[in-house]
A and B are shown apart, each in its own frame.
Chain A
Amino acid sequence: MLCPRVRLRRQPCTLERSIGMKIWEVFRQEKKGQAFAHAGSVEAPDAAFAEAWAREQYGRRGESEALWLVPREALREVRDFPDEFDLKYRRVDGYSLKVRLKEARERAGTAAARAG
């Protein structure tokens, strides 16, 4: 007869002991046509396990149309964007568009009145 052994703790298994676990970043598409957004990650020994686990963790509530799984090591992270000389005209907030628009409208209004 079978004698179940009761051990109420996480048990180390072959998976953790001998196989290199990798982090897979999970990107989730909520509805068809929408952009994929980063949702989190799973730690898994290979792509197949990553899929099986991500499927349950990020799809079991019907919250996903599709997932992208990317090994973290495949991502190239880019940082540090110096802007030492305050070239604010390259930013969308570089000009006060509001004032310029007002001036342009006034000019156009005047021009229209002259034509009439």
Chain B
Amino acid sequence: MRAPLLLELADDELVVGWRDSEWTGIAPTLEEDVAFSSIAQNEIGHARAAYELAARELGTTADELAFDRTPDDYRCAPLVELRLLEWAHAIARRWLYEQADHLRIETLMESDDAELAGLARKIDREEAYHRMHAELWAERLRDEWRFRDAVDELWPYALGMLPEALRPRLCERVGRGMTDTQGFERGSHTQELTELWDEMTSVRRTAPGAQW
């Protein structure tokens, strides 16, 4: 019964990759543009790998899992759904996402399921550099009020990415006290996901069942 776990991971990676790729062409500098887009592509690559593993168990395909479910069926956290076309917010999410994702991947790497642990190790090889990139930005913008405000605003969403048991460790990582903050929990969705889904699946829905 690892499919639900894999779908959480895959849906997060697909949707965050989709959202971050909205920065292609408009990031603050050309170099960051290339890097941000490349990282977004990596995330979608991780999604594919996780969908493929889940698809084997569920008797379907990665494409069907990625594109043929309704928005309500997605298991992604609200954090990744938000359309953030303001750099402080985009980089704050990237940083918070990497912190939370790291805790999840570490847990998966210790899994007794060799396939799951193997996938997690492969993903982590790339995520190490995503974390490096995000840390550089967080460090540089630490005293910038726009970044701090963005982190404050997104914090309840970041909490919602992880199961209760891992949340204290997330607080520790990002230097925040464990308060009674109500997380934006996985399972509920924002209107922004529906809009994203509509665009993301539009081509595929023009020709249902076609082989691409």
Contacts and interface: CB of A to CB of B under 8 A. Distances in A.
Contacts of A52: 35, 129, 132-133, 136
Contact of B85 (A8, A15, A19, A43): A8
A56 B39 contact: yes
B144 A14 contact: yes
Interface stretch (B24-32, B49-57, B175-183, B197-205): B24-32
B38 interface: yes
A95 to B, nearest CB: 49
B40 to A, nearest CB: 11
B140 interface: yes
Q: Which of B34, B82, B132 has the most CB of A within 10 A?
A: B34
Contact of B29 (A4, A43, A56): A43
B87 interface: yes
A11 B140 contact: no
Given A4-B84, A4-B89, A57 B28 contact: no
Contacts of A8: 26, 85
Contacts of B171: none
A2 B82 CA distance: 8
Given A4-B85, A6-B85, A14-B140, A53 B34 contact: yes
A53 B87 contact: no
B87 A43 contact: no
Interface string A49-76: 1001101110010000000000000000
B136 A49 contact: yes
Contact of B27 (A10, A14, A44): A10
Contacts, number: 73
A16 interface: yes
Interface string A9-43: 11111111001000000000000000000000011
B136 A48 contact: yes
Interface in B178-200: none
Nearest to B89: A4
B162 interface: no
Nearest to A13: B28
B153 interface: yes
Interface in B118-150: 129, 132-133, 136, 140-141, 144
Nearest to B141: A14
Contacts of B140: 14-15, 19, 45
List the 4 shortest-distance A-B pairs measured between CB atoms, nearest first: A56-B35, A53-B31, A56-B38, A13-B28
Interface of B: 26-32, 34-35, 38-39, 41, 82-87, 89, 129, 132-133, 136, 140-141, 144, 153-154
21 contacts: A2-B82, A2-B153, A4-B83, A4-B85, A7-B86, A10-B29, A11-B87, A13-B28, A15-B32, A15-B140, A19-B140, A43-B31, A44-B31, A48-B136, A49-B31, A53-B32, A55-B35, A56-B133, A57-B31, A57-B38, A60-B41
Interface of A: 2, 4-16, 19, 42-45, 48-49, 52-53, 55-57, 60
